[in-house]
Amino acid sequence: MTQFDLIKDIWAKFLLISLISTALVIATTGLVSQGLLKRKERKVDELFWHSNFGVLISIIAFEIGIWLNKKTKSALVNPLIIAIVLVVVFFISL
């Protein structure tokens, strides 16, 4: 049995999930970058521009995603996607 035999029935699903998640990451990166540039123009407090703040927000959002994933026990509740959405909503709402 080859490796392809193991995934021959689900390779299209893997490809679709990869394409969708890549598009989500690209869109999210663009939205957050635009939002942060607008915030920088407004001279937001220096705390938000500190690199550790971004890491902290990302880790907190990911932990919330893990908690939701464990609570719902569903593969559809992906911690990474939850974290991306939370970070975007946080920075857009500033």
Q: How far apart are CA 21 and CA 30, in angstroms?
A: 14
> What are the two backbone dihedrals, phi and then psi, of residue 76, each rounded to the nearest 5 degrees?
-70, -25
Whether pTM exceeds 0.75: no
Which percentage of the chain shows pLDDT scores above 90? 17
**Domain segments of the chain: what residues?**
3-93
Half-sphere exposure (CA, 13 Å, Cβ side) for 84? 16
pLDDT digits (tens, 9 = 90+) for 17-63: 888 888 888 888 887 777 777 765 555 566 666 667 878 888 999 99
